[in-house]
Amino acid sequence: MELTPKGTVSRRDLLVGFLGLPILPLACRNKEPIRFDGGFVGPQPALGHKLRDGFLPAPNKEQIQTRDVVIVGGGIAGLSAAWRLHHGGMTDFLVVELDSELGGTARGGKNGVSGYPLGAHYIPVPPAENRSALRLLDEMGVTEGRTEWGAAKVREPFLIRAPQERLFIAGRYFDGLFPHAGATADDLEQYRRFYAEVSTWVAKKDERGRRAFVLPLSLASDDPAVALLDRQSIAEWMDERGLVSKRLRWYVDYACRDDYGTNLQNTSAWAAMLYFAGRVTAPGEESAEYISWPEGNGRVAQHLATVIGNRNRTGVLVTDIVETDGKVHIHGWDANTEQPVGFVAKQVIVATGVHIARHLIRRLREEKPAWCMAFDYSPWLVVNLTLRNRPTERGFGPAWDSVFYQSPSLGYVNATHQGLKDHGPTVWTWYYAMVENDPRSQRKRLLELDWRDCADIALTDIRRAHPNITELVDHVDVVRWGHAMVRPTPGFVFGTNRKEAHKPLGAIHLANTDLSGIALFEEAHDHGVRVAEQVLAGLGHTVETFR
């Protein structure tokens, strides 16, 4: 029986541990020979873990540069902050990023077949209220004006074409994500009741006219009736209403895993309701359509990076940020030159997760405030499979998103779907969120895997629907996101810890999806723009808000 590199877990136990007991028949088969190459891409944890180990290099005077603003972190929040500074007339800023490329979890890859996502892979069409996100999409050429109601008109090539989603159940694919095939009358009645509850929340507005659920959250209501949902899990909320259908609960659980990296038991009922109600503008209307590209949100990151030009440095590990004598001093390590590096700035935007910021910012590192220890994160595994041809399948035809009923994975998306290519070579991106209640041990488990183990897990999962998948694989790229998504657990979004993270630390500002409690594009962009406008105003610039 084949062992993992650690020599402690059999292949069967590894596959069952990740994919559950239903995969046992496939896990017990002999492993198919590997005829493809591959490896890990994306973030490499070794350099980042130097922070945890107390690594504090000290640059000399010649290694220190001066800037008006330094942005630490080159994900969507940091890039959006830089974008806003640029449009505010500021030129003397710099984005500093640990990885070799900008983009964070929005990064994409590309090979001879197609571009493909390494993480985030779509953006729901923003509502009319989300002016900054719409401005960005206008600038990218994604939109072509507005409707008479102010909604964006998105150009057809950027909207995910039909069919968008399909579900593998009972040995074949069916259209859509709810498991209608084999559902009882009671399953369908509970499904109807659930969406009746959703419609109630879609219609709800507070005394100020704010919708209960809308993205970004800075536009949404904080009415006590809305906040009350955050006090319990979605599992408890469904229990109270007799929504016990296994099919309905799988469907809602899938939604939580997909958007938050959490499950029914550890997702706030507020967060779960946001998934279903937050992208619907009025009762009875369809949820917002999705915008996507072959490389996913990597296209957005590329555009933002183009706007800021050469005002960035990659491969730099920031290790210390401290404000003294009216200036912010930043020390770090340049992995490209293997030398210390430093910056002095008037203002600093820390666009990393709080779990990183608490190691970077000396004040947080020394004082250890309780709020910055309260953020929890889900690890994610992403496996990109480059295929020379399409494998066999049964049922409903090719879709952008393919999901397996009762699999703990999130299924895969097809990178060439937007190019109207349903045959021939393609890249499939398979996603797996580690949703258990002990993310630290799950993270350790993930980082111990060899890339071949990761490929084996993904291929075994997909093999339930596509038996000959392995023989068609040419290359595999594996990404391990140890802290992919902040977790919206019960009580967190409307709790005090998240609100504390919004407060500036003198001339140091946090800007990240953590500050919303949900790791979505809308939140990353909004926080980046919000903090950039604060910085512009603080440095004497006239600011007409984009928000």
Note whether 63 and 152 are same-domain residues. yes
Note whether 117 and 150 are same-domain residues. yes
Q: Is residue 2 part of a domain?
A: no
In the predicted model, residues of the chain with pLDDT beneath 70 are: 1-7
**Cβ-contact 360, 320 below 8 angstroms:** yes
Q: Cβ neighbours of residue 491 under 8 Å, at least 6 residues apart?
A: 230, 231, 268
Q: Cβ neighbours of residue 189 under 8 Å, at least 6 residues apart?
A: none
Q: Which of 288, 310, 343 is the last residue in one of the domains?
A: 288
Rounded to 5, what percent of the chain is helix, strand, coil? 35, 25, 40
Q: Mind listing the pLDDT tens digit for each residue in 45-75? A: 888 788 878 888 999 999 999 999 999 999 9
Q: Is residue 217 part of a domain?
A: yes
Three-state secondary-structure class, residue 348:
strand
Note whether 62 and 106 are same-domain residues. yes
> So what's the pLDDT on residue 123?
98
Distances (CA, A) of 222 to 46, 505, 542: 40, 25, 30
> So what's the pLDDT on residue 149?
84
Backbone φ and ψ for 285, nearest 5 degrees, come out as -85, 160
**Residue ranges of the alpha helices (H) in 395-450?**
439-447
> So what's the pLDDT on residue 6?
47
Q: Is residue 39 part of a domain?
A: no
Note whether 168 and 284 are same-domain residues. yes
d(CA 217, CA 150): 19
Note whether 58 and 143 are same-domain residues. yes
Note whether 17 and 85 are same-domain residues. no
d(CA 35, CA 12): 21
Q: Is residue 121 part of a domain?
A: yes
Backbone φ and ψ for 156, nearest 5 degrees, come out as -55, -40
Q: Is residue 103 part of a domain?
A: yes
Note whether 272 and 307 are same-domain residues. no
d(CA 85, CA 288): 29
- CATH number of the domain residue 368 falls in: 3.50.50.60
Q: What single DSSP character describes residue 3?
A: B
> So what's the pLDDT on residue 500?
95
Q: What single DSSP character describes residue 145?
A: E
d(CA 271, CA 51): 31
Reference 63, options 357, 330, 415; nearest CA is 330
Note whether 364 and 385 are same-domain residues. no
d(CA 50, CA 52): 5
Q: Cα 479 to the chain's mean position, in Å?
A: 13
Three-state secondary-structure class, residue 281:
coil
> So what's the pLDDT on residue 522?
98
Joined together, the tokens standing for residue 135 give 């401005």
> So what's the pLDDT on residue 27?
80
> So what's the pLDDT on residue 51?
82
Q: Is residue 127 part of a domain?
A: yes
d(CA 168, CA 4): 29
Three-state secondary-structure class, residue 456:
helix
Q: Which of 288, 320, 341 is the last residue in one of the domains?
A: 288
> So what's the pLDDT on residue 48?
78
> So what's the pLDDT on residue 465?
98
Q: Cα 409 to the chain's mean position, in Å?
A: 15
> So what's the pLDDT on residue 47?
80
**Cβ-contact 319, 51 below 8 angstroms:** yes
Q: How many domains does the chain have?
A: 3
Note whether 232 and 116 are same-domain residues. no
Note whether 468 and 427 are same-domain residues. yes
Q: Mind listing the pLDDT tens digit for each residue in 134-191? A: 999 999 999 999 988 888 999 999 999 999 999 999 999 999 999 999 999 999 999 9
Q: Which of 270, 288, 306 is the last residue in one of the domains?
A: 288
- CATH number of the domain residue 408 falls in: 3.90.660.20
* Structural domain span for residue 460: 11-31+377-486
With tokens 């964070």, the residue in question is 104
Note whether 506 and 474 are same-domain residues. no
Note whether 309 and 394 are same-domain residues. no
Three-state secondary-structure class, residue 497:
helix
Q: Is residue 428 part of a domain?
A: yes
Task: State the maximum Cα–Cα separation within the chain, in Å, rounded to a whole number.
Answer: 74
Q: Which residue type occupies 495?
A: G
Q: Is residue 5 part of a domain?
A: no
**Cβ-contact 426, 387 below 8 angstroms:** yes
